[in-house]
């Protein structure tokens, strides 16, 4: 028996109402595949737990204070999770970042409090649709509007502003004129919502499978005057299309950024990096006397802006560093020339580390969105770089010098010499990149190479020891 039929049966036998609701119903009406099972019920959370567990179904109640109980059902095909939420309403008190939840008693009141009509549709156990706000018609016509007054709806939960933008990009719908006005007027109220909730919506925008959908969301943030609130770091970028982008581009810098996003796959670090890769250009634009436009140093500025945004939005640390690194390095692959030696190719691979695949994808998307002649030249060079990286045995290897080498050097030189140890390991990495050593060399072979170069403590010659003030 399908899980939804099982749950319908269990709640019916318990004398409780149960309906499929929200995005689950919306996606089914749109003919989209959806693995989500979201239900609404008149059963209070404690009663829901009792009903489920009496039938041997495990539950999690991490969303209990919001009325949500997760049912975990074991099926022959694996574990299926379903979210079952008590009829409710919620709104933000002025100055609070946590919504106040009230439980309700009717499906109609529950549907009326939902964000948009396209999410205010329910389905019963027989497949009949309950649609008091006309959401099915709005799905058919491709419009996003609220069940009730849009100003009140946005005030009740300002996060709906970002959700409207996300749905616009995901489905290609238009936002109702009254709702647009309410969003513009209420954009500042987003500051009442935690940045963690912002981030979930922004990530959802950037993870839309279609790159065109993700870029449409960014356009929506600009069109609806929301960008200054949630992503102030790229406001100068979004206003840069009026400036000459130089002979190598046919679009303004902001339009170019959106085009690059459209060409990227839905990886969260890659899409964030695509958004920020040229964020430094408005701050580094210069024009030569002959009219040539330059943006010297813009990757470094963009990387810093990405880092600032990542800190403010509370990215996980690994993502914060990955995005800023991709932005900082995004031009390196495009600088490739066929006469690069193996060491130069390996150095790029080493500097990119685990981000090499995303870095190449970003650089390829960036290059493809240039003026036709420049795009063709760069695309061909990047294809050559890919071939070399795919055949180079050292490309993508990550660490080139075993940890044990650094540990032995630290033992030999004593505490307080960490910077010098790091520089010596850097010398050894260069030896590997140039083919004088291999990553599979023993610790003794690495140390012998330093000794032969006169750089090992106690070996003839000052080398790097002299640079470090003679400490050994």
pLDDT tens per residue, range 63-83: 888 889 999 998 888 999 999
Under a CB-based contact definition with an 8 Å cutoff, are residues 117 and 145 in contact?
Answer: yes
What is the model's pLDDT at position 160? 96
Can you name the residues that pair with 88 across neighbouring β-strands?
103
Q: Which region, left, alpha or beta, applies to residue 279 given φ > 0 means left and ψ of -120 to 50 means alpha? A: alpha
Please provide residue 214's backbone torsions phi and psi, each rounded to the nearest 5 degrees. -65, -45
State both tokens at 168: 């616009």
Q: Is 35 exposed, middle or buried (0-12, 13-18, 19+ CB in 10 A)?
A: exposed
What is the model's pLDDT at position 465? 43
Between CA 350 and CA 356 the distance in angstroms is 9
What is the model's pLDDT at position 100? 67
Q: Where are the domains of the chain?
A: 1-138, 275-391, 403-467
Q: How many residues does the chain have?
A: 472
What CA–CA distances, in Å, run from 342 to 353, 434, 439? 16, 7, 15
Query: If DSSP codes are grouped into helix, strand and coil, which group holds residue 80?
Result: strand
Q: Give the residue with greater pLDDT, 125 vs 89.
A: 125
Under a CB-based contact definition with an 8 Å cutoff, are residues 107 and 11 in contact?
Answer: no
Q: Is the pTM of this model over 0.75?
A: yes
Under a CB-based contact definition with an 8 Å cutoff, are residues 427 and 396 in contact?
Answer: no
Percent of the chain with pLDDT over 90: 69
**SS3 assignment for 318-383:** HHHHHHHHHHHHCCCHHHCCCCCCHHHHHHHHHHHHHHHHHHHHHHHHHHHCCCHHHHHHHHHHHH
Q: Which residue has the tokens 């109609």?
A: 108
Q: Which helix (H) or strand (E) holds 424?
A: helix 418-433
pLDDT in tens, 109-121: 999 989 999 999 9
Banded model confidence at residue 471, pLDDT cuts 50, 70, 90: very low
Percent of the chain with pLDDT over 70: 93
The angle formed by the CA atoms of residues 428, 430 and 436, to the nearest 5 degrees, is 80
State both tokens at 156: 């009740």
What CA–CA distances, in Å, run from 156 to 148, 186, 199, 389? 11, 11, 19, 53
For the 1-138 domain, the top CATH level (class) is: alpha beta
Q: Give the residue with greater pLDDT, 453 vs 13.
A: 13
Under a CB-based contact definition with an 8 Å cutoff, are residues 59 and 83 in contact?
Answer: no
């Amino acid at each position: 028996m399908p899980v939804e039929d099982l749950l319908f049966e269990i709640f019916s036998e318990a004398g409780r109402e149960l309906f499929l609701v929200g995005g689950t119903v919306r996606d089914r009406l749109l003919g989209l595949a959806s693995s989500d099972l979201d239900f609404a019920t008149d059963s209070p959370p404690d009663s829901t737990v009792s009903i489920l567990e009496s039938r041997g179904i495990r539950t999690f109640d991490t969303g209990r204070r919001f009325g949500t109980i997760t049912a975990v059902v074991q099926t022959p095909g694996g574990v299926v999770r379903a979210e079952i939420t008590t009829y409710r309403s919620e709104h933000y008190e002025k100055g609070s970042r946590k919504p106040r939840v009230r439980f309700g008693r009717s499906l109609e009141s529950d549907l009326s409090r939902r964000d948009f009509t396209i999410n205010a549709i329910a389905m019963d156990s027989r497949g009949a649709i309950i649609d008091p706000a006309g959401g099915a018609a709005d799905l058919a016509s491709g419009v996003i509007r609220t069940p009730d007054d849009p100003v009140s709806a946005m005030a009740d939960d300002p996060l709906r502003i970002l959700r409207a933008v996300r749905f616009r990009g995901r489905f290609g719908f238009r936002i109702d004129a009254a709702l647009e006005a309410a969003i513009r007027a209420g954009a500042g109220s987003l500051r009442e919502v935690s940045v963690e909730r912002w981030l979930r919506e922004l990530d959802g925008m950037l993870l839309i499978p279609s790159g065109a959908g993700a870029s449409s969301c960014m356009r929506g943030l600009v069109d609806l005057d929301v960008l200054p609130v949630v992503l102030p770091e790229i406001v100068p970028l979004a206003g840069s299309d009026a400036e000459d982008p130089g002979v190598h581009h046919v679009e303004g810098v902001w339009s170019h950024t959106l085009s690059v996003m459209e060409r990227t796959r839905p990886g969260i670090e890659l899409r964030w990096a695509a958004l920020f890769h040229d964020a430094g250009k408005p701050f580094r634009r210069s024009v030569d006397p002959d009219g040539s436009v330059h943006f010297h140093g813009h990757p470094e500025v963009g990387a810093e802006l990405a880092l600032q945004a990542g800190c403010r939005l509370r990215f996980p640390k690994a993502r914060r560093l990955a995005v800023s690194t991709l932005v900082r390095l995004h031009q390196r692959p495009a600088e490739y020339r066929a006469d690069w030696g193996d060491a130069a190719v390996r150095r790029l691979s080493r500097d990119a580390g685990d981000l090499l695949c995303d870095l190449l994808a970003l650089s390829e998307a960036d290059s493809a969105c240039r003026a036709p002649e420049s795009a063709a030249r760069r695309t061909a060079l990047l294809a050559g770089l890919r071939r070399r990286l795919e055949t180079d045995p050292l490309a993508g290897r990550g660490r080139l010098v075993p940890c044990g080498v650094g540990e032995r050097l630290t033992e030999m030189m004593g505490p307080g010499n960490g910077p010098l140890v790091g520089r010596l390991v850097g010398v050894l990495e260069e030896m590997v990149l140039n083919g004088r050593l291999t990553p599979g060399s023993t610790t003794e072979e690495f140390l012998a190479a330093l000794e032969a170069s006169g750089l090992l403590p106690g070996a003839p010659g000052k080398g790097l020891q002299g640079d470090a003030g003679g400490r050994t």
